[in-house]
Every structure is written in structure tokens, then in C-alpha cells.
């Protein structure tokens, strides 16, 4: 039986890392300091966070990007966290700041994000950077949607006029991704919990020529819903029977899709590379290099 080809992020990530590493070298030589990422982790020791941190540290070291991990106790209050952020904002040796998600419940993430300087916002989540995305004047983009768009572009499909359906409307994935798809002139539909509650999810998924699912519920999308020839990007990461699984029934979907991302190995490997690209973009923004204007 014919099955969809795999759309994997690993080779693409390596391809992007070569010129990125060279750019880091050039910038370090020119400015006498290297791009550096500071990561703030508040409490928590979950596996997903630990894996994300390990891959950040490994890639930063490979690219010669400086990396600082600041670990704060889970009970850290907002005032203390803001003081740490303000110190990093002032520190000329720090190019980009990332607050590791999820943070403990007593911390208001939106409030915190607003206090990171836009030019040091490693994940492009500050309202100025999201506004820049709307205006198509962005310097940094949220890494996961950035990774998804890189994957889609690598497939060489012309997105203009295509039916693109995004399932999930989170601040970090679904919403910025919808803006990026619109920029490519895809006809973009965003589905969320209310779409499912009204029983409309299947109807939207069935029309998708490009389907991106970022929910975090294993098996949410059965294979039989996939339109024949569709491109399927599964962002979901779920633990199922001791293994990682996406939100889409992979085997069923693969029989109908033309291209499909595996989980793991699809979007994930590219996400950290886009994050490191953001660190370099932040550095350039702060130094007024190229198209970057503050």
C-alpha cells in the first residue's frame, strides 16, 4: 500500500546550522563578544523541560553560542523573577532571554513576558514581537511555528490559496502559526476546543490540504479524517504506553497523506535550531546589524 513520505526536521536542522554557526563566528569576531542565551527555569523537573534544556545546551555549544541556565526555586515570586529579568535586560553580555514554560501557577506568564526587552525576546512572545509578526516586520518568531513553516517550505508546496487548517490556538503555536500561514496567502482556518465541542472538527480537518495539529491529545485526529494527498504536520507530544505519540493517528493518516511528520523527529529537531537563530537575530538587532532597526 502506498504511504505518505516522511517530513522530518533533522536534516533540515543540520542544513540550517552550518551557515548559522558561520554567522556566529563572524559576529563574535566583529563585536568581540558572542551571542548568548540566558534561560530562566523556575522549579519543575519534568522530562519534557529537561529534554528541551539538554538539546538547547548541546546546540548552543555546537554553534559557539553562549548559554547560561538560571534555576530559581518553584516558590520564586513575580517580583523576584522580574528582578532577575531586569538584570539580564541590562547585561550587555546576554543577547536573548527565555523563560522556560510551563512556569508555576502563581506566575502570570503574559505579565512576565512583557518585561523582557523585545530585542532580547528569544521566543518572540513579547507583544511588540507578536505585533511585528502581524505587521510582517518581525525579527524573531516563536520557534515552533517557525519550525513548522520551515518544514512546509522545504516541501516546496505553494501555500497560496491552499486550505490550511490549524488545530489548537495557543499563544506559542496555533495563533502565530495562523499569521505565518496567512502571510503565505494560505486560506487559513483555526480550530480549537469550541470547534470540537460543537462537533465541527472533523468537517474542517477533512477539507485541509495542509493540516497542522498542536493540541496535546493523543489520537485526537483519526486517520480516516485526513484528505487524500494532504500534508500533515503533527506538533503534539504525548506519552502513550511508555512511548511518544502525536495528536494524529500516524499509521492511519500516513495511508492518506502525501507528506507527514513523525513524532518524534518531525517538528522537534527544528524548533531548537530556530531558537538559536533567534538568539543570533537578537544579537544583530541589539548591534543594529542588517535589516534590524530598534
Q: Give the binding site for ligand NAP (CB under 6 A).
A: 144, 167-170, 172-174, 191-193, 195-196, 201, 214-217, 220, 235-238, 267-268, 271
Q: How far is the CB of 79 from ligand NAP (least distance, A)?
A: 26
Q: How far is the CB of 215 from ligand NAP (least distance, A)?
A: 4
Pick 40 or 88: Cβ nearer ligand NAP = 40
Q: How far is the CB of 268 from ligand NAP (least distance, A)?
A: 4
Q: How far is the CB of 264 from ligand NAP (least distance, A)?
A: 8
Q: How far is the CB of 166 from ligand NAP (least distance, A)?
A: 10
Pick 169 or 284: Cβ nearer ligand NAP = 169
Asked if 217 and 244 count as a contact pair (C-beta separation under 8 A), the reply is no
Q: What is the DSSP letter of 267?
A: S
Beta bridge partners of 66: 36
Pick 73 or 199: Cβ nearer ligand NAP = 199
What is the DSSP annotation of 190-235?
EE-HHHHHTT-HHHHHHH-SEEEE-S--TT-B-GGGSPTT-EEEE-
Alpha-carbon distance of 272 to 65, in angstroms, equals 13
Alpha-carbon distance of 257 to 279, in angstroms, equals 35
Which residue has 505519540 as its cell numbers? 245
What is the DSSP annotation of 109-129?
HHHHHTTS-GGGBTTS-SHHH
Q: Which three cell numbers stand for residue 151?
A: 518544514
Pick 91 or 219: Cβ nearer ligand NAP = 219
Pick 35 or 168: Cβ nearer ligand NAP = 168
Asked if 67 and 53 count as a contact pair (C-beta separation under 8 A), the reply is no
Amino acid at each position: 500500500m502506498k504511504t505518505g513520505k516522511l517530513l522530518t526536521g533533522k536534516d533540515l536542522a543540520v542544513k540550517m546550522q552550518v551557515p548559522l554557526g558561520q554567522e556566529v563566528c563572524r559576529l563574535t569576531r566583529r563585536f568581540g563578544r558572542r551571542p548568548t542565551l540566558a534561560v530562566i527555569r523556575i522549579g519543575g523537573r519534568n522530562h519534557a523541560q529537561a529534554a528541551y534544556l539538554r538539546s538547547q545546551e548541546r546546540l548552543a555549544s555546537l554553534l559557539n553560542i553562549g548559554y547560561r541556565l538560571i534555576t530559581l526555586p518553584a516558590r520564586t515570586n513575580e517580583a523576584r523573577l522580574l528582578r532577575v529579568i531586569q538584570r539580564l535586560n541590562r547585561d550587555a553580555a546576554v543577547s536573548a532571554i527565555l523563560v522556560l514554560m510551563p512556569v508555576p501557577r502563581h506566575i502570570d506568564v503574559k505579565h512576565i513576558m512583557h518585561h523582557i526587552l523585545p530585542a532580547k525576546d528569544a521566543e518572540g512572545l513579547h507583544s511588540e514581537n507578536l505585533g511585528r509578526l502581524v505587521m510582517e516586520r518581525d525579527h524573531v518568531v516563536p520557534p515552533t511555528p517557525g519550525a513548522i513553516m520551515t518544514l512546509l517550505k522545504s516541501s516546496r508546496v505553494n501555500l497560496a490559496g491552499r486550505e490550511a487548517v490549524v488545530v489548537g490556538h495557543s499563544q506559542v503555536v496555533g495563533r502565530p502559526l495562523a499569521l505565518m500561514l496567512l502571510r503565505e496567502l494560505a486560506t487559513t482556518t483555526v480550530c480549537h476546543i469550541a470547534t470540537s465541542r460543537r462537533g465541527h472538527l472533523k468537517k474542517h480537518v477533512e477539507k485541509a490540504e495542509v493540516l497542522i495539529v498542536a493540541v496535546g491529545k493523543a489520537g485526537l485526529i483519526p486517520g480516516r479524517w485526513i484528505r487524500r494527498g494532504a500534508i500533515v504536520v503533527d506538533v503534539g507530544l504525548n506519552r502513550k504506553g511508555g512511548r511518544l505519540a502525536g495528536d494524529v493517528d500516524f499509521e492511519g493518516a500516513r495511508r492518506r497523506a502525501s507528506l507527514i511528520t513523525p513524532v518524534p523527529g518531525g517538528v522537534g529537531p527544528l524548533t531548537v535550531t530556530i531558537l538559536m537563530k533567534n538568539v543570533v537575530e537578537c544579537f544583530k538587532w541589539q548591534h543594529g546589524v542588517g535589516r534590524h532597526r530598534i
